[in-house]
Structure 1
């Protein structure tokens, strides 16, 4: 069991972010990394330690709660360090039972906790852990940065073999471009040249830092974007009460501005992500914030200070605009006091802010150097495709595919942002079908930077050229007038672009129903020659592994032949995304234990699929527990190569498949990617109408990979 202990040089170095980022980097390599925080430094945490809770939320993985701060101090004061370390080892062993490697968060040296450094050194020995020193850095002051690390190393007095590296967090002095946020683990963000230059400068005064014995394992830039709280996090800081909570849990404070002069001179401050702070008697500021919000500019929020809000008439007048989501707070402090308190607000990530924690985790992991991870993992078993590894592979394979993906919902804000991300990262060349001026307005209002290479096509300028081809493809069913009418729908227009090979794939559904997205594909794209039907799969991102569920969206009651085809389609899709398929044909009966038409259909489908594809591991009928739980599989189907270890689950009908995927998704809080359509001549994929920006990005990536797979 390998253990890595992360120890900080002081407060505010980003120790929690470093731990979670390293866990994520290991997950992306297929390593089941556990996390342990042995000691809490929160004087009064009630149910769960903050870092421990964030780990559980992010990785859907259980760990143990740390020893409480009161107990820690009491045992140290009673000279019970040995007993304390014995309890720590017990916690470590508990985590080790189900993980390949453990990341341990050390104590932070503070004025209150002067024992932290000595206890960290003792902890490293007790857990037989390698030590990574975590410090902040300034590119312009290499010697001072190195001296912080050196001071910590002197206090530890650890043998060189015990030291594993140095991770520099919140590094200042780098370009703004280096602080871009990845969608997933993104090796292209690593600052290879900057790291080498920094090492050379450090080694002028501290030759061993950055050497082979003590490598710099990552240089993580400081990011203002990742230090931003939600407006809901700030209320207690300024003793505020809500006038309108709105989207307080979604809107983030990129900057804050105090409105003190004539409103004409302050209007430039009313931009996306801005927290406007004004005296409550500034009705002009309230009106300006309301107009901005109604115009589609997502201000972070509005803080009204001091007065008892006697001008409630202006608030009533602005209710329609405010109710569109603008968070409005009232504080008894004056505007200047409120601005000062907010400027000094802690940048620690709250337990429930999983969106920010996810972004920070990916950001840190993307800057950890692969050579160090490779060396760390030498001899460590890689046994599964983890959800993190799946997302990473998804992005990397789509970058390699270099495909053009059309997005018919081209002015929908989430779609615009996803397209900008995909274009900037090279995930796909995106084409937005929308009026260019509308897209530019959406981007400006939401602070989205549109890459110059992002293509925006006005549907009105191209629609007529597709009319003859639609009539030809739907011969006898549509005339020219009807074709022109159908092409008013941008999904139909995008599908025609795909049918004529002008693009490689289509993604829709953020505002359209599944039927709106799929119907044109059935009519104009049709099924691939080797298939007789179109089916769907979901990638279910369980905590330890990615499962494939099919068919959960298209075919209500497939025949045995169709079910066999769905199994083969799903297996090939799994392979395309790095999953070695072990296919279970699901039924209410395992083997010959039950009888009936439904069981016989699954048995016949299994036989047909095995006959058509002897290269695949396919077994059935299998009950779900016999397919997924090793002990049950051994008991119910002892001779099966699939039972107990299946990762592709084929359900007998839509009722079973759709119900199961939603039950697992909701009850186990599992992320599902899909539905991904299979069997079409060209890839078309549907989104949930509640899709997040990341969901759209991953679906675009998935579509690009499908296109490359079909070509191959």
Structure 2
């Protein structure tokens, strides 16, 4: 039976979209097919549904997500009565429920409607849908006692109408009152009550929203600039020396278009990072000449300069009426909203309250959600050496907004902050370290010189080497100043992992450093190893890769069933390559008799039950393998890319394994989401190592270490 949850309120202005987005995130962590239904809608397409559809890759046709428009509903209710209206909406809800495991219902918004007893209609629909209710109460400009009374009234209003109230959420509480209000509400209500503080960045409009609302003309600016949040307005009329100190971070400068001095002054201040502004809005339909615009473009590339025909005062009235909205075109606000929801809502408790049962299969999205959830549960610090790279900064923005981990970015601080400001990114909670000027450089030079003295490395040479961001970041991990490192978006694999081989070295018991990719297919997650590091492992190394890959799979919730891949299955083939895989399989069984392993085995027999039944009947691995170990790098690398491109799989990795501390490499073509996932994986690896600290001893004598193979090691 399809289950559902009904998110509703008692009045307008409660900021309910944050809760609706948060509940959708919670559902998609556990359920494969989630549908959305809004019984009553103002406009089509619906802004929030478009965001949910894009973000969560919903295949649901948009027209099925809506019951009917408010005008149609009011007319039907007036002509045929409430029962007829409810019957029609119930039928349309069940049309969605038939195709989904769980349905998120978005209640009415109480905005400019002519429906009598709108709260009663929401309550009745929730009962007819069989959906527990999450009730949202707006907390703006209200005292704790007032909110306590309103939350009680909201609970009683829905409970009295027969609703199963799963939880209440009091939203947009003044940050300074949040702790007191949360404590007051937690003690006085019969159901869980979660309190969310007001976040100014959610209510801040973007520059593009300003452009649309004022019908402005964009003279300069790119998409990144137009997506910046407008957190303040500064109206320019004074002379430049008086005007500049009035600028604030994220402000929109509003000035007559003939004040070239203020335009250039504001953009020059932005370029210097003191402070970064959102953009410049010109009034009176006055536009600077081409020479001023050319200078402005060079001073602050991408920063919006827009023009409106109106005067400053009526323009100001329009600006102050604007409020930020969640929509598909501004994913940063969605990340902020989700971070807020996850920090202040007990998602495990809420999951139980709304009876969400985990699906039997793991989808790519569910795997990604699990990564984020686990990394947030035990926050670690990850260092990102490529602090000025755009994709890294955008990933850092997501990670910070979602509260995934603590971050250190490497690079010259003014350069990093300026680049972030150009992209509309705030790095308030990130640590920025410049390896060239950091006091740690001397300490790291001494450490590196001691580690590499046997290779003739002097202190002077070490002092130069550790200024390299990859070496500096690796030493931060080695010295315990960071828990893991992720690099490679702009550096080669060798530049990323060579410092790890030299400094961090292999973990006790690991013969080599190897890698895996998590291949997220439509209905399952497979682990491929090794597709990135070892060109032609021998039987002993192949066995080590299999054991490491099984451990990594288990660490991330994939039950390990190992297939040692070859071009033949069982005893059907012979030759040096097959014999190597056969010997590796025997070694895995000797070293780890607790692991399920099969080999040699062909790929189709490993993953397809029908083929497995013909080629290896009775095998506990064939047809259901989850860890696929390739005989060499050529086979593994080409296979993962073929599956990624041809089957539309999400490839997360490479994830390095066998190091004492986590360092992970990125593809130079990595997308922002790839970087986010890899950082989350690194944080989870660091959590595991913190729970089971490893000895710092070198690998036992007689074991071959990847550190001995690394070039120039």
Indicate the TM-score class for this superposition, using the shorter chain for normalisation.
0.7 to 0.9
Aligned to 1:343: 320
Cα distance in 2 between the residues matched to 1:501 and 1:591? 47
Question: Please, which of 230, 245, 261 is the counterpart of residue 238 of structure 2?
Answer: 261
Question: Please, which of 263, 281, 284 is the counterpart of residue 258 of structure 2?
Answer: 281
Does the C-alpha gap of structure 1 residues 600 and 4 become closer, same or farther in structure 2, counting only changes over 3 Å? farther
SS in 2 for 1:516: helix
Cα distance in 1 between the residues matched to 2:285 and 2:265? 19
| Aligned residues of 2:186 and 2:193 also touching (Cα < 8 A) | no
Post-superposition offset of 1:5: 1.5
Cα distance in 2 between the residues matched to 1:616 and 1:607? 12
Cα distance in 1 between the residues matched to 2:299 and 2:468? 30
Aligned to 2:26: 25
Does the C-alpha gap of structure 1 residues 452 and 409 become closer, same or farther in structure 2, counting only changes over 3 Å? closer
1:391 aligns to 2:372 (yes or no) = yes
Aligned residues: 669
Aligned to 1:185: none
1:675 aligns to 2:650 (yes or no) = no
Does the C-alpha gap of structure 1 residues 234 and 672 become closer, same or farther in structure 2, counting only changes over 3 Å? farther
Question: Please, which of 212, 228, 244 is the counterpart of residue 236 of structure 1?
Answer: 212
| Aligned residues of 1:576 and 1:709 also touching (Cα < 8 A) | no
Does the C-alpha gap of structure 1 residues 279 and 455 become closer, same or farther in structure 2, counting only changes over 3 Å? closer
Any residues of structure 2 matched to 1:602-641 within 5 Å, and which? 605-619=584-598, 639-641=618-620
| Aligned residues of 2:500 and 2:663 also touching (Cα < 8 A) | yes
- 1:501-522 Cα offsets, whole Å, 9 max, x none, are 7876444445533221212222
Post-superposition offset of 1:287: 0.6
Does the C-alpha gap of structure 1 residues 580 and 272 become closer, same or farther in structure 2, counting only changes over 3 Å? farther
1:163 aligns to 2:165 (yes or no) = yes
1:217 aligns to 2:190 (yes or no) = no
Does the C-alpha gap of structure 1 residues 252 and 280 become closer, same or farther in structure 2, counting only changes over 3 Å? same
Aligned to 1:313: 291
Cα distance in 1 between the residues matched to 2:298 and 2:432? 38
Does the C-alpha gap of structure 1 residues 506 and 302 become closer, same or farther in structure 2, counting only changes over 3 Å? same
Aligned to 1:183: none
Cα distance in 2 between the residues matched to 1:655 and 1:694? 27
Post-superposition offset of 1:611: 4.0
Segments of structure 2 that go 5 or more residues without pairing to the other structure are: 695-713
- 1:8-37 Cα offsets, whole Å, 9 max, x none, are 212232333212212323555x45572421
1:50 aligns to 2:47 (yes or no) = yes
Any residues of structure 2 matched to 1:480-629 within 5 Å, and which? 483=462, 485-495=464-474, 505-509=484-488, 511-539=490-518, 547-585=526-564, 605-619=584-598
Instruction: Judge which range, 588-597 or 547-556, deviates more.
Output: 588-597
Cα distance in 2 between the residues matched to 1:521 and 1:502? 15
| Aligned residues of 2:67 and 2:92 also touching (Cα < 8 A) | no
SS in 2 for 1:69: strand
Does the C-alpha gap of structure 1 residues 540 and 89 become closer, same or farther in structure 2, counting only changes over 3 Å? same
Post-superposition offset of 1:380: 3.8
| TM-score of the aligned structures, taking structure 2 as reference length | 0.79
| Aligned residues of 1:685 and 1:703 also touching (Cα < 8 A) | no
- 1:234-265 Cα offsets, whole Å, 9 max, x none, are 32211122222322354222223222322322
Post-superposition offset of 1:114: 0.8
Question: Please, which of 330, 334, 339 is the counterpart of residue 311 of structure 2?
Answer: 334
| Aligned residues of 2:283 and 2:308 also touching (Cα < 8 A) | yes
Cα distance in 2 between the residues matched to 1:626 and 1:287? 67
- 1:89-140 Cα offsets, whole Å, 9 max, x none, are 23212212xxxx4432222334325164444233223222222222212551
Post-superposition offset of 1:38: 4.2
1:150 aligns to 2:126 (yes or no) = no
Segments of structure 1 that go 5 or more residues without pairing to the other structure are: 179-190, 204-209
SS in 1 for 2:8: strand
Question: Please, which of 263, 281, 306 is the counterpart of residue 303 of structure 1?
Answer: 281
Does the C-alpha gap of structure 1 residues 450 and 629 become closer, same or farther in structure 2, counting only changes over 3 Å? same
- 1:166-196 Cα offsets, whole Å, 9 max, x none, are 22222x23328x6xxxxxxxxxxxx5x6423
Aligned to 1:66: 65
- 1:577-624 Cα offsets, whole Å, 9 max, x none, are 444333444567777899987777656544543443222233456666
Any residues of structure 2 matched to 1:404-483 within 5 Å, and which? 427=405, 448-449=427-428, 457-458=438-439, 460-462=441-443, 464-466=445-447, 468-474=449-455, 483=462
SS in 1 for 2:161: coil
Aligned to 1:86: 91
1:362 aligns to 2:339 (yes or no) = yes
Does the C-alpha gap of structure 1 residues 655 and 285 become closer, same or farther in structure 2, counting only changes over 3 Å? farther
Any residues of structure 2 matched to 1:167-206 within 5 Å, and which? 167-170=169-172, 172-175=173-176, 194-198=181-185
Aligned to 1:207: none
Cα distance in 1 between the residues matched to 2:144 and 2:677? 40
Cα distance in 2 between the residues matched to 1:656 and 1:269? 61
Aligned to 1:184: none
| TM-score of the aligned structures, taking structure 1 as reference length | 0.79
Post-superposition offset of 1:700: 5.4
| Aligned residues of 2:410 and 2:433 also touching (Cα < 8 A) | no
Does the C-alpha gap of structure 1 residues 76 and 710 become closer, same or farther in structure 2, counting only changes over 3 Å? same
Cα distance in 1 between the residues matched to 2:540 and 2:611? 28
Cα distance in 2 between the residues matched to 1:542 and 1:486? 41
Does the C-alpha gap of structure 1 residues 464 and 542 become closer, same or farther in structure 2, counting only changes over 3 Å? same
Aligned to 2:143: 140
Instruction: Judge which range, 411-420 or 459-468, deviates more.
Output: 411-420
SS in 1 for 2:245: helix
Post-superposition offset of 1:392: 1.4
Does the C-alpha gap of structure 1 residues 706 and 7 become closer, same or farther in structure 2, counting only changes over 3 Å? closer
SS in 1 for 2:306: strand
Superposition RMSD in Å: 4.5
Post-superposition offset of 1:443: 9.2
Cα distance in 1 between the residues matched to 2:88 and 2:481? 70
Aligned to 2:663: 684
SS in 1 for 2:298: helix
Does the C-alpha gap of structure 1 residues 151 and 5 become closer, same or farther in structure 2, counting only changes over 3 Å? closer
